[in-house]
Amino acid sequence: MNARPSDAPAPDSPTSHEGVTDGPTDAPTSPRGLGSGPTDAPATISTDAPAPSATGTPAHEPASTDAPAPALPGAESVPLSPRLEVREVAGGSVVVVVMERPDGKPATLGPTGLGRLTEAVGEAAEQAERDGHLGVVLTGVGTTFLAGADLDMVAEFGEAEFARELGRLGHVMISAIMDAPVPVVALVNGIALGGGLEVALACRARLAVDDVKALGLPEAHL
């Protein structure tokens, strides 16, 4: 299944992830399924500090966390780089976490991306609770919500220790969603496979656009 073309240059060698053949894709500035544009400038996610806890630790202060930056080989070549937006919806506003890669290709999960997503969810939940937003919305760009694990990376660094640490980081990220102090909702704008679908399932509720091409857990057949 190929993603949409993009003006962004593709890397020299293709990568793959759970059930998706990697390729350029559109990276619209407005997530599909959300109406009005951002009500303020997108927040910048710092990846130098651990993720804030769901207990309201200010986002600018390093907080204790169960997800330290992993000392793992094989971090994905182009990690997930989530950004935050505040958007108006019926009845109020929400903090949107847009899951995307800088090169416009389908977003995948590896050690760096998992840490960044954990941090983004914690920061968005703290902002929503502090500023009175209705909750947090997780979504992707183009026709991909989240494509799951970067299988090229997993295949290259397939030692048991690496797999265990990757799984632990995934559990920490899922816990950040489930334990958030405000509702977290998945707006499934496109393909959600493997870990991507698990992210959606961890949310309080899920909404999907009409033309989603694939939802599934292909790892069950690996």
Cβ pair 185, 206 in contact under 8 A? yes
Distances (CA, A) of 121 to 14, 95, 140, 155: 29, 10, 14, 28
Task: Please give the positions annotated as active site.
Answer: 198, 219
- Distance, in Å, from the CA atom of 175 to the CA atom of 180, rounded to the nearest integer, reads 8
Tokens in use for 164?
């265990």
Please return the burial class of 114, using the count of CB atoms within 10 Å of its CB with bins 0-12, 13-18 and 19+: buried
Least Cα distance to 108 among 151, 71, 142, 66 occurs for 151
CA–CA distance, 181 with 147 (Å, rounded to integer)? 26
Please say whether the beta carbons of 169 and 195 come within 8 A: no
Beta strands in 47-147 (DSSP E): 83-89, 92-98, 136-139, 144-146
Spatial CB neighbours of 176, under 8 Å, sequence gap ≥ 6: 51, 54, 118, 121, 122, 125
Enter the tokens of residue 68: 């330290």
